[in-house]
Chain A
Amino acid sequence: MVAFGTGSKKIALELLVIAILLAVIPLVLMGNAYYELLAATVVLFSSMVVAWNIIGGYAGQLDLGAFAYVGVGGIITSELWIKAGIPPLLGIFAGGAASLLIAVIIGIPTFRFGIKEVWYALLTAALVVIFNNLSRVLMGPTDYYLPPKTGIIYLKFNSYEIMYAIASVILILTVLANLAIERSKIGYYLKSIREDELAAEMIGIDTRRYKLYALMIYSFFLGVMGYIYIVLAASFSYRMFDSSSSLSIAIMGIIGGLGSIEGGIVSAMVLRSLGEYFRSSFGSTVPGLDLLLYGIVLVIVGIFQPEGIAGIINRINKAMKKKR
């Protein structure tokens, strides 16, 4: 989507804006461990929303299964460290690959049998529930903790500032992947599938194959992020396979605007921060208030700004161009 001009200029500008944003946040929040943790979490959630943009925004598949992949990737990476001594710096790739494998196993029959729209949404939502139950059987109800070691090969530090930096690197890599997709054949093909799948087939696109590609890239990134999520949460259990978190990723992506990287980031940062505020302030008395907030914002956006935050950004851009 057109946001900051066109071509390579656009990429440079977009990255610059994101980098500045990422650099400014710690200056404001520095010194307070809670805020630093919050900032790292928010940036990690932004990365998940940007990854979701590949399957949800470009390919237009309403995927509600984010935490199936986050959970698989995170738990595999952690277990590889705990049980086999493989450092997470390597392990995250195995975690990402494990999520990707799950995506292929799920994706091939799903797309083969033409499951789309509301059925795809339900299927992916069910996936999280299935993993939740399955892992409760396998792992029991206990919380597991990572070894107390820290260092770059473990991608684990006691300082939340460094964890924030790691999350920022992941966000930038995810943004780069999105930009690469958007500017190449696969991006055009995914968008055309989103717009009209039959018309896409009639210009020679193997729609099943391209939807599977989108699902694979998305799940790999989420799988990698899973471990960082565990480090920030300080422990892991079957509860990682969380339906409401999965839903919130899709909601943030939609509020940001389908196909819009910057829209997704802004939406995730604002909503996740507000959601966290609600949870910490009222969570003990009114649980689930953060989801209620997302729901309300979604309704408002749906009525007044169906193209999400991206629509607002586009309008500002157009206005600025006219002034020049």
Chain B
Amino acid sequence: MSEALLETRDLVKHFGGIKAIDSVSIKVMEGEILGLIGPNGAGKTTLFNCITGTYKPDGGKIFFRQKEITGLPSHEIIKLGIGRTWQIVRPFKKMSVLDAIATGSLLRYSDVEKAKEKAKEIASFLGLPKDILEKRGEEITLMQHKLVDLARALATEPKLLLIDEVGAGLRPSELSAMIDTLQKINSERKVTLVVVEHIMRLVMSISKRVIVMHEGRVIAQGKPEEVSNDPQVIQAYLGIKPI
């Protein structure tokens, strides 16, 4: 494996008295699909929010491509090559799907026509049907929304994409398609992925490496099958000591 694309060192974020993230140090290697799992409230989304500058960390440092990005404004962090999506989709409802994706492309291509061209290319890469491009954000299905969110993030041409529970709410058949799509983004567009997920089927099938968080801390990391047998992980998920 090559060098770390993203690294956090002793990252801390608390809300009032609660430590949402408690001294988290992780490395994301270039080219990998890293699974980030843990029960609700483990701090996974907070970690994403700290990395993208939505939250200012209370302690620790974040490095992206060897450059410190701690405390930078979001738009600068995104420009350096980080993208993200959310568990609950955030569509631009009153804009056409094409315009929404093109708005992402405008970060790298200031010309609107060029941006739209790029947007079309990304839409077809993700397998979005052509007829939905002119539809408005409020007129499409959940699976399409998730793909549009991904497309919009990909349009900013990130090196690293943080994906938050993209499987939530999808039907089994849609889930399989989503797994294929994520793998395609990773292998063909050379985008490193960090995938937060509750659905084990998704994580286990695409991640070679998994980090488990619990109550703001990293409690285990390693290969999916190792991690799923780790006593601490089982206890975190099931709340009982393994026999």
Q: Contact at A204–B92, with CB atoms within 8 Å?
A: no
The yes or no answer to A105 lying at the interface (CB within 8 A) is no
Q: Total A-B residue pairs with C-beta atoms closer than 8 Å? A: 75
- Cβ contact of A203, chosen from B86, B94, B156, cutoff 8 A: B156
Q: Interface segment, A40-48, A133-141, A152-160, A186-194?
A: A186-194
In the complex formed, the residue of B with least CB distance to A209 is B75
Q: Kindly supply a per-residue 1/0 record for chain A positions 199-232, scoring 1 wherever the CB is within 8 Å of any chain B CB and 0 otherwise.
A: 1111111110000000000000000000000000
Q: Contact at B74–A201, with CB atoms within 8 Å?
A: yes
Given known contacts A203-B153, A203-B155, is B92 in contact with A192 (CB within 8 Å)? yes
The yes or no answer to A183 lying at the interface (CB within 8 A) is yes
The yes or no answer to B104 lying at the interface (CB within 8 A) is yes
* Residues in A whose Cβ lies below 8 Å from that of B78: 201-204
Q: Contact at B106–A202, with CB atoms within 8 Å?
A: no
Instruction: Give complex CA distance A264, B86 in Å.
Output: 35
Instruction: Give complex CA distance A246, B100 in Å.
Output: 32
The yes or no answer to B4 lying at the interface (CB within 8 A) is no
Chain A interface residue count, CB cutoff 8 Å, equals 22
Q: Contact at B102–A188, with CB atoms within 8 Å?
A: yes
In the complex formed, the residue of A with least CB distance to B77 is A204
Instruction: Give complex CA distance A189, B152 in Å.
Output: 13
Q: Contact at B92–A202, with CB atoms within 8 Å?
A: no
Instruction: Give complex CA distance A229, B106 in Å.
Output: 38
The yes or no answer to B167 lying at the interface (CB within 8 A) is no
Interface positions, chain B 93-129, Cβ under 8 Å from A, are 93-95, 99-100, 102-104, 106-107, 110, 112, 115
Cβ distance A18 to chain B, nearest Cβ, rounded Å: 23
Cβ distance A132 to chain B, nearest Cβ, rounded Å: 34
* Residues in A whose Cβ lies below 8 Å from that of B181: none
- Cβ contact of A206, chosen from B75, B91, B94, B152, cutoff 8 A: B75
Q: Contact at B94–A195, with CB atoms within 8 Å?
A: yes
Q: Contact at B52–A202, with CB atoms within 8 Å?
A: yes
Instruction: Give complex CA distance A192, B156 in Å.
Output: 14
* Residues in A whose Cβ lies below 8 Å from that of B103: 188-189, 191-192, 200, 203, 205
Q: Contact at A192–B73, with CB atoms within 8 Å?
A: no
Instruction: Give complex CA distance A199, B155 in Å.
Output: 13
The yes or no answer to B90 lying at the interface (CB within 8 A) is yes
Cβ distance A258 to chain B, nearest Cβ, rounded Å: 8
Give 18 A-B contacts (CB < 8 Å), ordered by A residue: A183-B112, A185-B112, A188-B102, A189-B103, A189-B106, A191-B95, A192-B92, A192-B103, A195-B93, A199-B90, A201-B78, A202-B54, A203-B78, A203-B83, A203-B107, A203-B153, A204-B104, A206-B73
Residues of A at the B interface (CB closer than 8 Å) are 183-185, 188-189, 191-192, 194-196, 198-207, 258-259
Given A195-B94, A204-B78: 4 more A-B contacts, CB < 8 Å: A188-B106, A189-B106, A202-B83, A204-B107
Nearest 6 interchain pairs by C-beta: A204-B78, A195-B92, A199-B90, A204-B107, A201-B74, A203-B104
